[in-house]
Each structure stands twice: as C-alpha cells, then as structure tokens.
A and B are shown apart, each in its own frame.
Chain A
C-alpha cells in the first residue's frame, strides 16, 4: 500500500469516527420524550464536566440512563457484528458470511436462553458463556456441512445456515413453551433484537470484551489476508493456517456471542457493512476491519434511531430495520456470486 493510500485511509478513519460521534449525539437527542437536541448537549456537557449549567433531574435521567446506554450499546453491537461478518467472509472466502445467516446468532440466542432459564439469569458470566458455546456449536456444524472437499459451497452454506438457524430457534421456542414466569416476555422482546432494556453497567461490561476481541482479530488480519486468497496460498506463504483459522473462527463466534447475549439476534449488519466497505475501499483486512467496525457502529446507531422514529410513539425492534435493508442486499449478493 502506497503512502498516499495509507494517508487517505487514516483520513477516512478519522472522518468515520467523527461521523459516528455526530450520529450518536443526534441519536441521543431524539426520542418519545421532550428532551431535545440542545438540552441533550447540555446534559452531556454537564456530565462530562465541559459545561456547568445543570439540567433537570428528569432530563438527566432520560439522557444518561435511558438513551445513552442504548446508543452506546448500539455502537458496540454494530461494530462487533460487522467485524464478525467480515471475518467469516474472509474465512469461508464468500461474501455471504454473516453471523445471522450462518446461524451463529441463533446458536448464541439458544445458549443465552438456556443460561437464563436454567437460573443463571442473575449471573451474566454464565449467560455469556452459554451464549458463546451456542455460537461456536452453530458455526462448527454449518462449516462442516458446507465444506465439500476443502471447498465451501455457497448453496450448501446458505442452506446449512438456514437449517441450523431453524433448528436452534425451534429448540428456543420449545424452551419458552415449557418455561413459566414473567421473565419470558422480556426474553421474547430481547430475542427479536432489542437494545432498549440494557443499563449503562451492561455497556461497561461488554465494551472491554468487544474491543478486546476485535483487537485480537486485528492482529490476525495480516495472515487472514493470505487465507482469503486460499488456504493453500497461505500455507505456501508461511502461515500456520490451522491456528489462524481456528483462532479467527473462535474469536468471531465469541464476539457474536458476547453481543447477542445482550442485544438479541440483529441480522444483516455483518452482511451489509463488510461488503460495502470492500466495494468502496478494498479487500485488505488491515484497512478493511477498522473501517468496517466504525461503519457498523454508525449503521446500527442509525437503524436504532429509525426504529424509534418511524412509528412513534410505538418502537420497532431494530432487527426489523436492519432486515429491511439487509434482505434486498442479500438477494443482490446472491445474484452476483453464484458458485
């Protein structure tokens, strides 16, 4: 990569970061209650020590404890799912890689639900762990079904994802039908992809996890570039392919499990964002991944804002919005790439 392109990359990265902040602030300032843009800025400024004009307690409550966690969570979840999608695409050498399509999200949902129902509801680590196990089991099944003679077959991949997804969702539904208690309705809403019910402490809890895993994945990006051409290519150029592959599959699934356990299964971000970045910027993961993370964050914050606004005062699950964008895009990709 030439110096000029590298400079353009850093400029773009900065621009995207700035845009993300703007989108987040705008998103915090809209909602069903009457706390507008300037009041939001005042609350944010006051709480960060930038301004000393205090606001009403109600406004502070709404901005800091209802909207802020939601928007921050949207950014984290969006970044995580987009990066996971980008990694899966590299690993299976197919633009259709996405945690939702590959059934990884459903696996994580099932894992979380098992965790919640079996009484680990109070213990977030237990839920997180079972979400992770669900995600990893799903990707192992789908990968092995779709692999024929060392190659990943697109048709089989999509089918395997659908089947595994359906199967895991079936088990999840079964667990619901035998479960009792008031928790069930909450879980049901969360399952459709919901960012509204989490507190700021959830954000602080998963932020280091999400950022840490993305950092580790970035360290693999140079070697993954070689795997993206072909596994044989990577071997010939001195990469320990098995180690890189297993590590990346595990980390991407862990990333998916980590965010699905708090936000539910939000689809198609992992499909739209990495493919868009590839079209607009290029394939080299060392540049692709950071751009994907920032764009994914922005994309989900925007989608969540839309979900709150389109049908006010009713809120839509954010998964509805991402699906509305994602499904047509999926069809477009499928038409592009056959084989």
Chain B
C-alpha cells in the first residue's frame, strides 16, 4: 500500500538561487507522529508549508493519499490538512470563538455560514485546549500563550487527517506545553491522526515523536526512530556544538543536554 504522505525528491527555493529544501524524500504512514528537527534556517517551516501545499516545489512532488498536492484545490487540501502556524498577528478584534470557527470554513458554502453543529465542534475543541473561557474575548487582547491555544483549537476544528505543527509549544507555559502535546499525541493514537511537527526543541520531539527527520541546510541529514537519529556523533555534526545524549529517566527516550564550555569539568 502506498504511504499516507510521501515526499519524492522535493526541492524548493525562494527567489534566491540557494535551495532551501534540497532533494528531500520521506514517507509517512497514517497515524504516525513525525518530528522535523534541525538548526535555524535548515528549512523546517518551508517544509511544513510544502506539506500544506501553500507553496509548490520546483522539483519533485508531495503526495497525500497518492494524490499530488499540486493537483488538488486549496479547499480539497484544507479539508484534510490543518496547520498551526508559528506566529499569527491579529489586526482586527475577532473574538476567539470566531477565529476557531474559521476552521470550519473548508466545509461550508460561499458565505461560510456556520450551523449549530459547527459551533459545537468549535466549542468542543476550545474546551480541549483550555481556551473556552475566553471564547467571547477579542483575540487582540489575548496573551501569546492564550492565542496559541486558540489556534490549536482552530486546527482541531478543521478535523484534519494530517496536522502540521510549527513550533507548537514556543509560546506556551510548561503546563500548557504538556497539555497540548498530550492532546495531539492522544489524537494521533486514538483517532489515527497523522502529525508532523517542526520543532527546535529536540527533547520535546524525542519525547513525543515516533520518527524524526533531521534537516541540515535543506537536506535530510538522517531520519528514523528517535533513538537512531539522536546520537552524539550526528548531533554534534549538525549543530556544531558539544552535547551529551543519555536517556530521559522518566520516559526512556533520548535526552540531550548541552555541555557548556564554562561549567564543564
């Protein structure tokens, strides 16, 4: 059987000659939780945008359930793929519930008029992400962390088959980091939701992801299970700094500790 999501020799560049994504290939099975890691500028966000079909590769192809993203309409893609962007600035005073309800847009008619069922789905997602209490508040008044939870709720409201997360915990307090990650993990395990998360937090990725894709300068440096990808030799080479890899005493997943040049004996 063909994989759920497949990238075949994908290359992409902006208006500059440098390839930001350079010949990337991987295949993801339905229900898997993947992490894209790598240093700043490695192409993590660009790769997520390619997976959402927001931008199309100049070379190669991305297929969702055997269909090339380039052959699908925006609406068709939005019915299956949701993305949590790294940063959204709101210019107008939409309420949080209005923003979350926008997640229903791919399923609605020309005016995007929501029915009771859509409102129910939205409120349910907000309850799950702990954002229901500011449903009627303007999004411009929310803190970064609250905004993030609203945006996670919106992505869930899309009821996607593929969820793309771009630094999902960057603005969250510790308790919400755990909550959001646990929620996504549960959805992946219980409902077979496929998740691809870009993160610069290697420990977070190691703890939650089934597979990791390590990017360096637009190329796949290595991919596979976290235990295979995260070893001292590989990481030192990619990040060009000293670090220690051992096991997280709670979960048994690989744990990275940076070794400071000052404090190390």
**A-side interface residues toward B, CB under 8 Å?**
1-3, 93-94, 219, 221-223, 225-226, 228-230, 232-233, 235-240, 278, 282-284, 286
Residues facing A in B142-197 (CB within 8 A) are 158
Q: Report the minimum CB–CB distance from B120 to chain A (whole Å).
A: 11
How far apart are A284's CB and chain B's nearest CB, in angstroms? 6
Q: List 20 A-B contacts (CB under 8 A).
A: A1-B114, A94-B91, A222-B112, A225-B98, A226-B102, A228-B94, A229-B99, A229-B102, A236-B52, A236-B54, A236-B83, A237-B102, A237-B103, A237-B106, A238-B73, A238-B74, A238-B105, A239-B74, A282-B95, A286-B111
What 0/1 readout, one digit per residue, does chain B (83-102) give for beta carbons within 8 Å of chain A?
Answer: 10100111111110011001
Contact B77 A238 (CB under 8 A): yes
Q: In the complex where A2-B119, A286-B111 touch, is A230 in contact with B89 (Cβ < 8 A)?
A: yes
A286 near B113: Cβ-Cβ < 8 Å: yes
**B190–chain A nearest beta-carbon distance, Å:** 25
Give the residue among B73, B90, B111 with the most A Cβ atoms within 10 A. B111
- Bound complex: CA of A1 vs CA of B111, how far in Å? 13
Which residues of chain B from 66 to 85 have any CB-CB distance to chain A below 8 Å in the complex? 73-79, 82-83, 85
Contact of B8 with A by CB under 8 A: no
B91→A228 contact, CB < 8 A: yes
B112 CB to closest chain A CB (Å) equals 3
State A239–B82 Cα separation when bound (angstroms). Answer: 13
Q: Tally of A-B residue pairs with Cβ under 8 A?
A: 84
Interface size class, chain B: 35 or more
Q: Which residues of B contact A230 (CB under 8 A)?
A: 88-89
Closest 3 CB pairs of A and B: A238-B78, A222-B112, A238-B75
> Which single residue of chain A is at the shortest CB-CB distance from B92?
A283
Chain B residues lying within 8 Å of A284, measured Cβ to Cβ, are 94, 98
Nearest CB of chain A from residue B13's CB, rounded to whole Å? 17
| Chain A: CB-nearest residue to B89 | A230
Across-interface contacts of A237 in B (CB, < 8 A): 78, 102-103, 105-106, 158
What separation, in Å, do the CA atoms of A16 and B99 have in the docked complex?
27
Residues of chain A with a CB closer than 8 A to B93's CB: 278, 282-283
A232: chain B residues at CB < 8 Å are 54, 85
Contact A222 B111 (CB under 8 A): yes
A284 CA / B114 CA spacing, docked (Å): 12
B108 on the A face (CB < 8 A): yes
Q: Report A-chain residues with C-beta under 8 Å of the C-beta of B91.
A: 93-94, 228
CB-defined contacts of B95 to chain A, threshold 8 Å = 282
Whether A238 pairs with B79 at a CB distance below 8 angstroms is yes
Q: In the docked arrangement, what's the CA distance between A335 and B231, Å?
A: 54
Q: Among A223, A236, A282, point to the contact of B78 (Cβ < 8 A).
A: A236
B264 contacts the other chain (CB 8 A): no
Contact between chains at A238 and B106 (CB < 8 Å): yes
Contact A235 B112 (CB under 8 A): no
Chain A residue numbers with a CB within 8 Å of B1 are none
The verdict on B262 contacting chain A, using a C-beta distance below 8 Å, is: no
How far is A235 from B54 in the complex, measured between Cα atoms in Å?
7
Closest Cβ of chain A to B108, distance in Å, is: 7
Residue B110 CB within 8 A of the other chain: yes
In angstroms, Cα B79 to Cα A223, docked, is: 15
A163 to chain B, nearest CB (A): 24
| Inter-chain contacts of B74 with A (CB < 8 A) | 235, 238-240
User: Is B111's CB under 8 angstroms from A219's CB?
Assistant: yes
For residue B52, which residue of chain A has the nearest CB?
A236
Q: Which of chain B's residues have a CB closer than 8 A to the CB of A3?
A: 116
Q: How far is the CA of A1 from the CA of B100 in the complex (A)?
A: 11
Residue of B nearest to A288 (CB): B92
Contact A225 B102 (CB under 8 A): yes
A240 to B76, CA, bound (A): 11
The distance in angstroms between the C-alpha atoms of A268 and B14, with both chains bound, is: 40
Q: How far is the CA of A221 from the CA of B92 in the complex (A)?
A: 15
Name the interface residues of B51-66: CB closer than 8 Å to any CB of A: 52, 54
Tell me the complex Cα distance, A236–B116, Å.
23
In contact, B94 and A229 (Cβ under 8 angstroms)? yes
Nearest Cβ on chain A to B156's Cβ, whole angstroms: 14
In angstroms, Cα B110 to Cα A219, docked, is 7
B204 CB, min distance to chain A CBs, angstroms: 23
Residues of A within 8 A of B89 (CB): 230
Which B residues lie within 8 Å of A238 (CB)? 73-79, 105-106
Known pairs A226-B105, A237-B103 / 14 extra A-B pairs, C-beta < 8 Å: A3-B116, A222-B110, A225-B98, A229-B92, A233-B102, A235-B54, A236-B82, A238-B74, A238-B105, A278-B92, A278-B93, A282-B98, A286-B111, A286-B113
